[in-house]
A and B are shown apart, each in its own frame.
Chain A
Amino acid sequence: MRPYLLIASLLASLTATNPAHADFFDGVQAYQNGDYVSAAKAWRPLVKQGKPVAAFNMGILYYRGLGVPLDRVRGRDLWLSAAEQGYIPAYYELALTKMDGYLGRPDFEDARTLLQEAANAGYPPAQYFLANLLRQGLGGDKDEFTAMQLYQAAAKAGNPNAAFTLGEFARLGMQETPSPADAFLWYEAAAMKGQVRAQYRLGWCYQQGFGTEPDPVQAYVWYTTAAAHGHYRADEDRDALAATLTPEQLETANTELMAMGIPFPQSAGEPATDELAPGDAISTVTPPDSASPANGQNLEPASTQPVQ
């Protein structure tokens, strides 16, 4: 082929829109907007074409009843087909189906096997979950050493849940004596990525001066952030703190919250308004390991120290 034709065709291939590609991301966009029906519509033909990513995504819709009738078996089967093609996140979801009890009694042994597959491939959510099982001896032997390695690997890869867990370890002194400074840094890293329990704990650190200088305004900001994301008791701590703040401090905090798009009480003690500040909807949807408001983070309890 003559050179200019080759170049032209290369350029054409770079700039041409790939309809299949566009549909996939249309679906992702729809999903992130909560328009699950459109997401299903976008992904369905791609599932038929055998694309593992589409099958994986569709599995999420069916397993959770989003935009389609709830059908956990179908969701699981979609994940199976994606896993058969080597799609690593599908191993992770399949492991969750082994633990959540929806399709049968929890089977942590099978879960470990599936998680191991994904963890070995370097998938941080699986590393985190596997670390939990290893640490507690669920589905096999206890192995706290490997668990710690996995938490570290996942946290370094940016997994907010693992970061939060390391923060808890540092706070409670699970491995050695407590390290407030480390705890603060882990909580901060996780909180910035939307980890809700870390947001609460970060507020707590600021309130207590734990690993950082006390800062009631920052404490208020983070408690409110955690509460806005559904933390089960952040609002109580926030309200108690609010009673001790000056009007100026509250205003500073509220200004910061408004800039972040977090709803806050209009005056101390009042419930937060129903209206979200413009420009920022609280996202409940995240790609794995980037800013994920990862819910239900946990701290694996081995300590009998009281939780503060």
Chain B
Amino acid sequence: MSAWLRSCAALLAAAFIMSTGPVRAADDPAVVAPDQAEAFIQDLSQKAIAVLRDDSKSEPEREAVFRGLLKSGFDMKFIGRFVLGVNWRQATPQQREDYQALFNDYVLKTYSARLGGFTNEEFKVVGSQPAGKRDVMVHSQVLRKDGPPITADWRVRMVDGDPKVIDVVVEGVSMSISQRQEFASVVQSKGIDGLIETLRARVNGDAPVTSGGSGN
């Protein structure tokens, strides 16, 4: 994973970059409105910041809350499917289930620990614009004391009546697309089963031993 990922306060999501079409169904409840999307991101970020800055909770407690935010704010199933790309179609139902479970865990594990480092930064929604027929891109900045602001764009879509993040573009790079490229190369050389084991390896590195003995 490249260095810029570490510096981003963004949560992982996935989507695809649609070519922007001129036709857009305004007032369609299935389409998220820009101000609605902005409010949604504002709310999500405030909750995330509150969790990160809450010293009264232990790390496992904060991670649990954070997990809930990720679950409610992001369409993880969509993201996971997008990131797997064409290989989704070729996967068996069992492979799909294993992949989705592992992908979900991988995202949680990777980002909830990292975000512990973000306590003093300020998050600002700075605008939004429609993207494609259904989505809104919400523009935001993470303001840091020691460094230039980081831009993070959130692609928001209505999913079953609720706005959800389906991609995050950090400093111009779509996280879902870059993740998809990485996964595709593993599938190409090791197959879907290989990707599943790769994800499993990412998720399963565990706690340190307490007894000092060699395992069970």
Interface residues of A (CB under 8 A from B): 24-25, 28, 31-36, 53, 56-57, 60, 63-66, 70, 87-89, 93, 95-97, 99-102, 105-106, 108, 111, 118, 121-126, 129, 132-133, 136, 138, 157-159, 161, 172, 197, 228, 230-233, 235, 263, 271-272, 274, 276, 281-290, 292, 294-301, 303-307
Q: Is the CB of B215 within 8 A of A121?
A: yes
User: Does B122 sit at the interface, judged by CB under 8 A?
Assistant: no
Q: Flag if B101 contacts A28 (CB, 8 Å).
A: no
- Answer whether A231 and B68 are a contact pair too, CB < 8 Å, given A31-B208, A136-B197, A301-B193: no
**A-B pairs with CB below 8 Å: how many?**
210
> Are A33 and B205 in contact (CB-based, < 8 A)?
no
What's the Cα separation between A36 and B207 when bound, in Å? Answer: 12
Determine how close the nearest CB of chain B comes to the CB of A125; give it in whole angstroms: 7
In angstroms, Cα B6 to Cα A228, docked, is: 26
Any A CB within 8 A of the CB of B93: yes
> Within 8 Å CB of A231, what residues of B?
101, 104
Question: Contact size class for B?
Answer: 35 or more
Q: Is the interface of B mostly helix, strand, loop or mixed?
A: helix
Q: Which residues of A contact B93 (CB under 8 A)?
A: 304-307
**Which residues of A sit under 8 angstroms from B102, Cβ to Cβ?**
295-296, 298
A100 and B63 contacting across the interface, CB-CB below 8 Å: no
Q: List 24 A-B contacts (CB under 8 A).
A: A31-B208, A33-B59, A60-B206, A64-B205, A65-B113, A89-B214, A89-B215, A106-B190, A106-B198, A121-B214, A124-B215, A129-B201, A132-B200, A157-B216, A159-B216, A230-B104, A271-B72, A281-B60, A281-B61, A285-B207, A287-B208, A296-B105, A298-B200, A306-B93
**Chain B interface (Cβ within 8 Å of chain A)?**
1, 6, 58-65, 67-68, 71-72, 76-77, 92-98, 100-102, 104-106, 108-109, 113-114, 182, 185-186, 189-190, 193-194, 196-212, 214-216
